[in-house]
Each structure stands twice: as structure tokens, then as C-alpha cells.
Amino acid sequence: MKLNELRDNPGATKKRQRVGRGPGSGKGKTGGRGIKGQKSRSGVALGGYEGGQMPLYRRLPKRGFTKPNAKKFAVINLGQLQKFVDAGTLDAKKEITEDLLVEAGVVRRKLDGIRVLAKGEIKAKLKLAVTGASKAAIDAVEKAGGSLSVTAAASAAATAE
């Protein structure tokens, strides 16, 4: 068998219907849309109306609430921090602030603050000052011999904005 001899099985592919290509095609002139009316025109989407029946979007329950002023935090994991310390991008001896994390490229931007989560392992003694942290993250950093302070000033400033 050669590559140029490869073919699909008979009946596996079907030619597409070319609509509006003359009366001989069987789908010419009106293109299978019937005559006149809104549905025969282009650019019409009548998905929302169900002929007097209660429409689907009104039958389904509406749930939940999206807070318009919700805080959006940049999230980093302890494993990521350890990786950056190992690479030498972050200095474990200095205090690590949010601005330092952005500068080092650990997070792209601060948003409403940076929140540290406990995924991954931390071995370095770090002194962190961030807007938020999970309890497990604080425990893990302290277990490694470092300290993690959640700055109330940063969260208060974020609240004031």
C-alpha cells in the first residue's frame, strides 16, 4: 500500500449540500428557507421564543449572587515560592513583600493583594508580608522556621479603594 492509494471507506464521507446554487441542485433560489417571513431573512436568531410555552431560560431556577465589589487576589503557593528561592530569584534572607514578589516575577500583578496558599513544600526560612494567607500556609512557613505576617494595613488599603 502506498500513501497515494489511501482512501476513505465508501460511504464514510458525504459531500456537503451547496445551498442556493440554482434550481437543479434541489436547494436553489430560496435555499430551503421557504418563502418570505422573518426566518427566511439572514441574521435572524429566534432561539428565545418557544411559541407561547414558558421559555427554557425562565423555567430554570436562578441561583447565586456575584458580588460586584469582590476582592480579587493574586494567588501563590508555597511550592512556587520554594522554586523561586532555589533558583535564586528571591533572597530568603530579606523580608519578602508583595512588591518584591511582583518584581521577581512570581506573580504578574498584585490585584487587591497577594494570598499565599499551602500547596507544595517550603524548606527555606522566609519572612513574608502579604495581604492574605491560609492557616495551613502560615503553619507551614512557621514550621520551616520562617514567619508569615498578614498585613492588615494592606487589606485596609484595599478595602478603602
- Give residue 152's pLDDT: 66
What's the CATH number for 74-160? 3.100.10.10
User: Has residue 157 got a pLDDT over 60?
Assistant: no
Domain boundaries in the chain?
Answer: 74-160
- Give residue 55's pLDDT: 83
**What are the DSSP calls for 10-69, one per residue?**
TTS--PPP-TTS-GGGSS-TTTTS-SSSGGGSSS----S--TTSPPHHHHSPP-----TT
d(Cα 116, Cα 30) in Å, to the nearest integer? Answer: 62
- Give residue 147's pLDDT: 87
Q: What proportion of the chain, given as a percentage, has pLDDT over 70? A: 92
> For residue 90, what pLDDT band results from cuts at 50, 70 and 90?
confident
Convert the pLDDT of each residue in 98-132 to its tens digit.
888 898 888 999 889 999 998 988 888 888 889 99
Q: What average pLDDT does the segment 46-51 reach?
A: 73
- Give residue 5's pLDDT: 95
Phi/psi-derived region of residue 91, left when phi > 0, alpha when psi is between -120 and 50, beta in every other case: beta
- Give residue 45's pLDDT: 66
- Mean pLDDT of the chain, nearest integer: 86
- The whole-model pTM stands at 0.53
Q: CB–CB of 42/51 below 8 Å?
A: no
